[in-house]
Chains A and B, each alone.
Chain A
Amino acid sequence: GENVEQHPSTLSVQEGDSAVIKCTYSDSASNYFPWYKQELGKRPQLIIDIRSNVGEKKDQRIAVTLNKTAKHFSLHITETQPEDSAVYFCAASKEETSYDKVIFGPGTSLSVIP
């Protein structure tokens, strides 16, 4: 079945620096790749997603890139702030009408040091 790997498992950066989280997926039919942020004790929140028909997407300080050939995708956070500290999950799925099975990576715990 589909498997999603994520690295690193923990990441510590100084405030203002950039953070990069990398994921790989196994099912070449996957075509939808969301990223979720989960703060301690809270629900996962969708922060950005990318579909296989594009290679890059940006939303303010957050960007995602996708390499379908290599089956990997990355999250880039620039100008990090303490409130970016959280666990980040990448995920992959095959986007079909009414079929929403989403496979999550194990997560990256990001700490932004003021």
Chain B
Amino acid sequence: DAGVTQSPTHLIKTRGQHVTLRCSPISGHKSVSWYQQVLGQGPQFIFQYYEKEERGRGNFPDRFSARQFPNYSSELNVNALLLGDSALYLCASSSQGNEQYFGPGTRLTVT
């Protein structure tokens, strides 16, 4: 079985640009969560989607948005990038319950 996949693996953007990150959950998992992990810190919750609906939102500005598609894959969008948005963005999928399985992450660098 394939695990959670994310694309791209690495990305370099300039301040003010927009970025879209993608995630495919484990087959059969209907829930996808997004986390931001700054170097040396724990993952910070951004969004959670279940059955294509937003079920949770963390303390992130409106520049961050996400959506989930009918096949349960998901996109995270970040507008007007700031230097402080540089981080590892992790996607996690789960079925019912909270056992989350993480993807390899997308390393975003904003210059």
Give me the interface of A with B, judged by CB distance under 8 Å.
1, 6, 32, 34, 36, 42-46, 49, 89, 91, 93, 95, 97-107
Across the A-B interface, how many residue pairs have beta carbons closer than 8 Å? 73
Question: Does B48 lie within 8 Å of A99, measured CB to CB?
Answer: yes
Question: Does B101 lie within 8 Å of A100, measured CB to CB?
Answer: no
- Give the contact-size bracket for chain B: 20 to 34
Query: Closest chain B residue to A92 by CB distance?
Result: B98
Query: Closest chain A residue to B3 by CB distance?
Result: A43
Given contacts A43-B103, A43-B105, contact A104 B98 (CB under 8 A): no
Give me the interface of B with A, judged by CB distance under 8 Å.
30-31, 33, 35, 40-45, 48, 50-51, 55-56, 58-59, 90, 92, 94, 96-105
Chain B contacts for A103, CB-based, 8 A: 45
A97–B50 Cα distance when bound, in Å, is 10
Question: Does B98 lie within 8 Å of A95, measured CB to CB?
Answer: yes
Question: Does A32 lie within 8 Å of B42, measured CB to CB?
Answer: no
Sample (29) of A-B pairs whose CB atoms are under 8 Å apart: A32-B97, A32-B98, A34-B99, A34-B100, A36-B102, A44-B43, A44-B90, A45-B102, A49-B98, A49-B99, A89-B43, A93-B98, A97-B96, A97-B97, A98-B31, A98-B50, A98-B55, A99-B48, A100-B31, A100-B33, A100-B48, A100-B92, A101-B33, A101-B45, A101-B56, A103-B45, A104-B42, A104-B43, A105-B42
